[in-house]
Amino acid sequence: MRALFGPAAAGVAALALAAGATIALHGQRAEGQAPPAAQGRGRGAPLPPPEPQAGHPSGKLIIWGDVASFDVPGTLPTHCILTNRFKRGQRMGFRMTAIDGGSGETENTAVLVAHVKYAGTTIDVPMRWRGQGGFPAAEYPRQPSEMWTGVWVVPADAQPGALSYTVTATDRFGRTATFSPFINVVSQIAIVE
């Protein structure tokens, strides 16, 4: 009996300790919200997960957004203007937000990916939450930003024409959402000469 229970007890205890350690680690990460000063515009090592938000989840996860020119440097006059027409080599920017439907607040645990249908394949463009990372206040007066962004550079050999895209999201509660732009043909993202 002792021989049977000894390893079993040790196993259960180890499992419990491991689970406890995992949750403790999660808590430590959640507390470490201050973005590193050298993060600049969000590039570099991934930031820790954001702090859990009280009252979430509630209702549906809802996402929405638009597309814009992400021309760089940021001083260019076309940087961040709304457009759905892009030239070869231009940086197509996807800007989205994710809302916890019940509270109406940003669901900052959402992970978003834009899916661009291009040349018979689907290109997945991971998006980055801009709520962390110390973005310039002059450009983003409402801090922290509720926005996620992703960039796809139009290939140099891209053929002119309309493309379609969707954006999907999943949050830490397992909720999912999909965004599709308004259906007007002319408003779809397009590659132009």
Partner 1 sequence: MRKTLLISAAALIVFAGLSIHAFQSPPPPPAPGTGRLIVYGDMALFQPPGHPENCILRNRFKRGEPVGWRMFVADPSTGKREESAQLVVHLNVSGRTIDIPMRYRATERQPEREFWVAKWVVPQDAPIGIIRYTVTATDKYGRTGEFKPFEVQASQLTIVE
Which residues in this chain contact partner 1 in the complex, by CB under 8 A?
1-2, 5-6, 8-9, 12-13, 15-16, 19-20, 23, 57-62, 64-68, 79-85, 95, 97, 99, 101-102, 104, 138-142, 145-147, 173, 177, 181-184, 186-187
Q: Give the nearest distance from C-beta 2 to partner 1 in angstroms.
A: 5
Q: Give the nearest distance from C-beta 31 to partner 1 in angstroms.
A: 18
Q: Which amino acid is at 19?
A: A
In the bound state with partner 1, the residue whose beta carbon lies nearer, of 45 and 98, is 98
- Beta strand 91-100 pairing with 105-106: antiparallel
In the bound state with partner 1, the residue whose beta carbon lies nearer, of 120 and 173, is 173
Q: Give the nearest distance from C-beta 47 to partner 1 in angstroms.
A: 20
Please provide residue 83's backbone torsions phi and psi, each rounded to the nearest 5 degrees.
-160, 155
In the bound state with partner 1, the residue whose beta carbon lies nearer, of 20 and 32, is 20
Neighbouring residues of 148: CB distance < 8 A, sequence distance ≥ 6:
65, 95, 96, 97, 98, 110, 112, 127, 128, 129, 130
Q: Give the nearest distance from C-beta 136 to partner 1 in angstroms.
A: 10
What are the DSSP calls for 107-167, one per residue? Answer: -TT-EEEEEEEETTEEEEEE-EETTSS---TTT--SSS---EEEEEEPPTTPPSEE-EEEE
In the bound state with partner 1, the residue whose beta carbon lies nearer, of 45 and 138, is 138
Q: What is the DSSP letter of 25?
A: H
In the bound state with partner 1, the residue whose beta carbon lies nearer, of 1 and 38, is 1
